[in-house]
A and B are shown apart, each in its own frame.
Chain A
Amino acid sequence: MVAGKSQSLFKDRPIKVLLAKPGIDGHDRGMFVLAKSFRDAGMDVLYAGLLPTPEEVVDTAVNEDVDVIALSLMNGAHLTVFKKVADLMKKRGITDIAIVGGGTIPDQDRPKLARMGITGNYGPGTPISTIVEHVKRRAEEARKRKLGLN
């Protein structure tokens, strides 16, 4: 797999992605599968561990200067918890880190999440390549912002 269209954007520093399950959710098997897939796609992968608070997720993302935060929840709390992460980012004025989501997310919730800037929101059965491509696309946007290219 190639590291996105504009190679030079990620030449010296690959896409860096933070996987997190903020909130009460211990189902992290899927996270490990994704972590490995992202690594195999040439990304630097961080996993926030179980039960981080939204504040911890944002702190980690900032300290590590990731390109993408990938959130996952299987407990139905995405509209509250994902929103909290997005709000915290907004509050701290962070626009150069993209947020994507996933988990058991009903179709009708997707537009609501998209309006918060949380895209993807893939459910069970999504091909991993779809997720990887989406993360790459969002990472490219984020990296361009980081480098002041748009």
Chain B
Amino acid sequence: MLDTGEIVSGILRGDPRSISRAVSIMETMPGSAERRKILEAIYPNTGNGQIIGITGPPGIGKSTMIGKLSLSIAQKGHKIGVVAVDASSPFSNGSILGNRLRMQDSLTSRNIFMRSLSTRGQRGGLSSTVWDTVTIMEASGMDKIIVETVGSGQADLDILGLADTIVLVLAPGLGDEIQAIKAGIMEIASIIVVNKIDREGAYMAMKDIQDMLAINSADGWVIPVIGTNALTGDGLEDLMGCMEKHWIYLHEHVNIRESRFKNTVAMDAKIQLDQIVQRSFQRALQGMETIPGKNGSPYDESNSIVKKTIESILKGG
């Protein structure tokens, strides 16, 4: 089933198989003509959903929270898509996509579409695959799309940069971990959640975070700090309220259409460039002089590789 026309009409109908197959094409063939055809055809139907990025350290309860959250949002009459990004093994390239396990109940009972992606060594393409997946979900009529990532590493920040609303999930007792991630992620969070609120020190953690936010209070949107218990569902109403408020805030203050357009252009140009550069670079690498000193220092040789790569790109890859 690689008939793009059929896939496109399936996506627009909301058929899970077509959506799923389209995502596979984005994963398997980044930069292919098929990918382009599909995205081009569904583009007019996109741009209306709220993309919610949910991030935070591993084991903090993100997946459990999304399981509960997606159910409650669905009950309010929204169509939901979930994209979960899981780390893959650097050794075997394999992965265990465990997020789904914690959401299983809500997924099946409510017909929520969820897709797991792994962070394997794609040549810088992960964010683009996620973005394509989100685009497909939007085109299929989903209006709340949740992207879950483990909040570490630049790739995650890239993906999160694409989200409209970013929820950072923390828990009491993280201590230094909060310190470690605050620089990168706290700055882009729209909402901060302290999960496992029943644990000791939870309110102190919330207060700490609030104090920290007070120092660099941005004008406009005031980042709310919410306590939740993902297992029991406590505080999730609050969280949903804040997400909705943020969505309204964005509509009033940001040109969403424009920023989507900009992001898509940048994303797509990046993936095309990545492919061209990689192809030429790998070829240039193969012609490397490996005998030490024959062509001067290693830095001379690396310069000549750069030169060869650029030449080969200019010649058309």
Binding site for B on A (CB under 8 A): 1, 3, 12-14, 35-36, 38-49, 52-53, 55-56, 59-60, 62-65, 92, 94, 96, 146-148
Contacts and interface: CB of A to CB of B under 8 A. Distances in A.
Nearest to A67: B24
Interface of B: 1-2, 16-17, 19-21, 23-24, 27-30, 88-89, 91-98, 100-101, 104, 107-108, 113-116, 118, 120, 122
Contact of B94 (A13, A43, A96): A43
Contact of B2 (A13, A47, A64, A148): A148
A40 B94 contact: yes
A141 to B, nearest CB: 15
A60 B104 CA distance: 9
- List the 6 shortest-distance A-B pairs measured between CB atoms, nearest first: A39-B94, A13-B28, A65-B20, A65-B24, A148-B2, A42-B94
B281 to A, nearest CB: 17
A49 B174 CA distance: 29
Given A13-B27, A42-B92, A44-B118, A62 B97 contact: no
B1 A59 contact: no
A59 B16 contact: yes
Contacts of A148: 1-2
Contact of A47 (B16, B19, B101, B108): B101
A39 B87 CA distance: 12
B96 A63 contact: no
B114 A63 contact: yes
Nearest to B27: A13
Nearest to A96: B1
A63 B115 contact: yes
A63 B16 contact: yes
Contact of B97 (A41, A45, A49, A59): A45
A63 B21 CA distance: 8
Nearest to B101: A49
A52 B16 contact: no
B93 A14 contact: yes
A139 B106 CA distance: 29
B97 A44 contact: yes
B113 A63 contact: yes
B2 A12 contact: no
Nearest to B22: A65
Contacts of B113: 63
Contact of A62 (B20, B116, B120): B20
B229 to A, nearest CB: 21
Contacts of B91: 40
Contacts of B28: 12-13, 147
Given A3-B93, A63-B20, A63-B113, 19 more contacts: A12-B27, A35-B96, A39-B92, A40-B94, A41-B92, A41-B94, A42-B94, A44-B94, A44-B95, A44-B118, A45-B96, A55-B108, A56-B104, A65-B20, A146-B2, A146-B24, A147-B2, A147-B28, A148-B2
B98 A47 contact: yes
Contact of A94 (B17, B27, B122): B17
A48 B263 CA distance: 34
B104 A12 contact: no
Given A48-B104, A49-B104, A148-B1, A14 B120 contact: yes
Contacts of B94: 14, 38-45
A62 B17 contact: yes
B101 to A, nearest CB: 5
A12 B122 CA distance: 7
A48 B1 CA distance: 25
A4 B89 CA distance: 18
A63 B108 CA distance: 11
B97 A146 contact: no
A19 to B, nearest CB: 10
Contacts of B96: 35-36, 39, 45-47
B7 to A, nearest CB: 12
Nearest to B31: A12
A56 B101 contact: no
5 contacts: A44-B88, A44-B94, A45-B95, A64-B100, A146-B2
Contact of B23 (A47, A48, A65): A65
A76 B107 CA distance: 28
